[in-house]
Amino acid sequence: MLTGKHVVFLGGDARQLEVIKSCIQMNARVSLIGYDNLQSPFSGASLKELSTEVLSKADVLVLPIVGTDEHGHVSSVFTSDTLILTEEHLSSLPAHCIVFAGIAKPYLKDLCARYGIELIELMQRDDVAIYNSIPTVEGALMMAIQNTDITLHGSICLVLGMGRCGLSLARVLHAIGADVRVGVRSSAHHARAFEMGFKAFDTRELNQHVKEADLIFNTIPAPIITAQTLSHCPHDVVIIDLASKPGGVDYAFAEKRGIKAILAPSLPGIVAPKTAGRILARTITQLLKPMELQKEGNV
């Protein structure tokens, strides 16, 4: 239980609702900033204005997945107010306060470092990335089905990258009956692909392998599908780019060649916000366990 702990939520989207629910269930005192247009308010939480006074009493501060922008702007889909987390706000947090965000821009990282505040970037964690690959893969399948006139079964699907997302995606496409060919660069990934029954090729030879592709799913966060690669692709190939912005495709050249290439960011929040929220809730509450133990005098 988080009895006696004050958890402040500043901004967010549907994913935060699951985290709020979990904190209330764990008996934390919950304050919500930037939630004034919430359709069904939580009975165990109070709405607050952004102020140093509220933040000075926070044990935990939960920010949206994107944290802040480069100027401290915090987004919230539940308010029309502008929320700016300033240096004054950050400096008012107690030294023991833990700040959670999905990812943090230098603005937030620098401020937390300057004031000795612990910052946890949830999306950098392996466990969160692997759990998140589940809704990401479902979203990728949805996009593939919506944007093709063939079944995935029997289609030639290239999956570029065999990290947390690529591996989950290749496995599901293979199970659906697609002819999966994985673009990798390490011998360990070659071996794993072989073991799992996929064909593997070296990404340096990508241009030779795109020629037969019906679909290309990119998970490599680097400019991998270049103009030269696109010039080897069939004109009716569909490219679903999962890599974070700006993605891995030369979009200007794809458009010039009439190739359908789609940058598909933030799929978990789009296709399964509740599941995505539960993943965050589970991880945050797990990470707050030491606080619980301290309270109970067990450490």
The contact set with ligand NAP (CB under 6 A) reads: 129, 132, 136, 161-166, 185-186, 203, 219-222, 224, 242-244, 264-268
Which residue is nearest to ligand NAP, using beta carbons?
163
Q: How far is the CB of 108 from ligand NAP (least distance, A)?
A: 17
Q: How far is the CB of 228 from ligand NAP (least distance, A)?
A: 15
What 3 state SS string does 216-255 have? EEECCCCCCECHHHHHHCCCCCEEEECCCCCCCECHHHHH
Instruction: Decide: 86 and 120 in contact? Cβ < 8 Å.
Output: no
In whole angstroms, give the CA distance from residue 82 to residue 2.
30
Tell which residue, 142, 139, 136, 148, has the closest CA to residue 238.
148
Q: How far is the CB of 249 from ligand NAP (least distance, A)?
A: 13
For 145, half-sphere exposure in the C-beta direction (CA atoms, 13 angstrom radius) is 9
CA 151 to chain centre: 28
Q: Between 42 and 251, name the residue whose CB sits nearer to ligand NAP.
A: 251
Q: Between 7 and 182, name the residue whose CB sits nearer to ligand NAP.
A: 182
Q: Between 62 and 267, name the residue whose CB sits nearer to ligand NAP.
A: 267
Q: How far is the CB of 78 from ligand NAP (least distance, A)?
A: 22
Q: Between 188 and 252, name the residue whose CB sits nearer to ligand NAP.
A: 188
Tell which residue, 272, 250, 277, has the closest CA to residue 263.
250
Q: How far is the CB of 21 from ligand NAP (least distance, A)?
A: 23
